[in-house]
A and B are shown apart, each in its own frame.
Chain A
Amino acid sequence: MKVGLFIPCYVNAIYPEVGIATYKLLDYLGADVNYPVRQTCCGQPMANAGFEQMVVDLAKHFDDLFSGYDYIVSPSSSCVSFVKKKYSLIMQNEGYPCQTSGKTHDVCEFLHDVLKVDKLPGKFPHKVSIHNSCHGVRELHLSSASELNIPRHSKIKNLLSTIEGIEILEPDKIDECCGFGGMFSIEEQAVSVRMGYDKLKNHLATGAEYITGADSSCLMHMQGIAERERLPVKFLHVVQILTAGL
């Protein structure tokens, strides 16, 4: 299967190791992975700020870049959620059909639902607290939202369980927002930081050494607070833990 790797702008600039881990893992699992180098950003920050119309060109560009692939996979549940839920409408409004939104997947979603990964090599003998990002939970259903009366499930938990030695924990207020929210983090910085700080405290209360999740943006926001507050915790994207043995 031909997989196009979509690396979000901030992962590109700040956490390239997450991109590297994603590529390595998909390749290990037998996918033919390529990275179209002229990609930039999905446009979500502008759209959430109220400037959806600025995203049209970006959406068209994305669609062109990735049209030849069977799947488009990205290590970011929020970016994928944006492409899946909004691209069709944004492009349709301008008269362009969108080919890619239906085949774009978050990497955890892809590993769990498409590749059906149930075994991975490697050990990660550490306590890890799962950060259930809002887009991942409520838009992509990576785990069951705590508000809903539906059977409890977590794709991230299932994937991490394939790694030997790992101790998987989840915080109180299991899927409460960390407060990143894109431009919200700047426009309402006081609330954003308070939310992030509270979330960190809940994660730390589990006794975890690492906080992991499907969204580096949430992790980046919490990491910034942890460093400012000198809180002893490390951050890794789920794919980085899954490639522990590679």
Chain B
Amino acid sequence: MSTKHSKAAERFMNNTEHERWHNETLWQVRAKRDKLAMEIPEWEQLRDLASRIKTHTITNLDRYLTQFAERAEANGAIIHWAKDANDHNEIVYDILRKRDVKKLVKSKSMLTEECKMNEYLMDKGIDVIESDLGERVLQLIHKQPSHIVMPAIHLQKEEIGKIFENELYTEKGNNNPVYLVHAARENLRKEFLSADAAMTGANFGVATSGDIVICTNEGNADMGTSFPKLHIVSMGIEKLIPDYKSLSIFIRLLARSATGQPITTYTSHYRKPRKGNEMHIVLVDNGRSDILKNEDHVQTLKCIRCGACMNTCPVYRRIGGYSYTYFIPGPIGINLGMLESPRKYADNLSACSLCYSCNNICPVKIDLADQIYKWRQSLDSLDEADRAKKLVSYAMKFLFRHPTLYNVVLKIAPIVNKMPRSLIYNSFNDWGKGRELPVFAEESFTRMWKKGKVKKHE
């Protein structure tokens, strides 16, 4: 019984020191989040409202999208509608090509990862520079993010130091994070000042005003958009919220959940492009409108991409983002992957002990664990159920439907206690790889009851 995921997980954990460090590092982010959440007495009230506001918005999405687009266009922004990833890439390329853009500087956007935009544009000869530090490091080594908020969390400073030595010509052997960050500051500043266009994602789109809201700590999104005259925003259609009153709730929840800060350093509101500048907003569907009809999984559309579920997940923390086959890992990633392609990403479903911590941590109260449970139920009808698991389940069902047989098995079970170790502990016994088998009682409870051995208190 193993999946692609369980094999990848085992490989990650073979490096015990690294796994321990990765686990503790991510736990600290959870701990920071806890500290801040507990300082806000109205925290659970905020979560509840955020959940209900998102539910309301996604079930009235046509109205809000129309309103948003109208407001944004009245403000002077240009709205584009992308049905899927390909549409998105073509629209973006078209905008860039028409303005003869050679260099595009961008801030972090999981949506552009989803659309595989960077490869698309670079194939067409446009230089795309990631400006978020973690994303920039990964870009230099051609790797994907392993976490949606802290993309390079799996890399230790020695590795990053080496990458900077090779690519940014920093001091040999210097892996002091302060030194490295300041080296990146210098390097990326040149890019900001010489870029022809800037691209950002959007944390929120406010329907009543047509604002795009972007939250960063580094200031890279705002640096990027401050110099070129062209700004393109990629936004998933589910990112809308109704108004400023709602926005205040989300801004209070987002950074506390994501990084354990009361707010990100910069919470920027882009409303109108200045005279002589252009702001394009690409609204992306790419399967989101289809999710609406899936009542079991529609709640995933509430996600504000904070990453808290990854930080709390005891499995994710120990195995890292690369152990998942979908580009977004952790509890939300398992669910989004299944929504994109159940057959392709079914392996990730095993990466969950159903502890329900993610349900409790999610600032918008997505029922992440319940959804994972539901996806597991659907595997059989998709023909993706693990055969060994199915066989074991059938055997258990048969046994449990026949109490007499069940009790006979309980009677025989203690034989296992006396069997030679070589017979029990081998490659067929997954339990036994890391644990001793429990000892079967000589007499089961049922047997003792029947024999009158279960006594009351005297």
Contacts and interface: CB of A to CB of B under 8 A. Distances in A.
Q: Do chains A and B touch in the complex (CB under 8 A)?
A: yes
Interface of A: 7, 9-17, 19-20, 23-25, 27-28, 35, 37-41, 43, 45-55, 57-58, 61, 134-135, 138-139, 145-150, 173, 175-177, 179-198, 220-221, 223-225, 227-228, 246
Nearest to A37: B446
Contacts of B148: none
Interface string B341-353: 0000000011111
B235 to A, nearest CB: 29
Given A14-B441, A225-B435, A50 B379 contact: yes
A186 B400 contact: no
A51 B360 CA distance: 25
A175 to B, nearest CB: 8
B83 to A, nearest CB: 33
Contact of A51 (B353, B380, B457): B380
Interface centre among B23, B314, B373 (most CB of A within 10 A): B314
10 contacts: A16-B445, A41-B396, A51-B394, A54-B397, A182-B354, A187-B386, A188-B9, A194-B19, A195-B315, A198-B23
Interface stretch (B39-47, B205-213, B240-248, B297-305): B39-47
Contacts of B448: 16, 20
B431 A188 contact: no
A191 B315 contact: yes
B394 A54 contact: yes
Contacts of A39: 403
Given A45-B396, A135-B356, A187-B386, 13 more contacts: A12-B410, A20-B448, A25-B457, A28-B456, A40-B403, A47-B373, A48-B354, A50-B378, A51-B390, A177-B357, A186-B431, A190-B10, A224-B431
B403 to A, nearest CB: 4
A140 B350 CA distance: 24
A46 B393 contact: yes
Contacts of B376: 48-50
B440 A13 contact: yes
B6 A38 contact: no
Contacts of A15: 441
Given A134-B354, A177-B355, A193 B446 contact: no
B108 to A, nearest CB: 26
Contacts of B120: none
Contact of A20 (B37, B379, B445): B445
A228 B380 contact: no
Contacts of B413: 13
B351 A41 contact: no
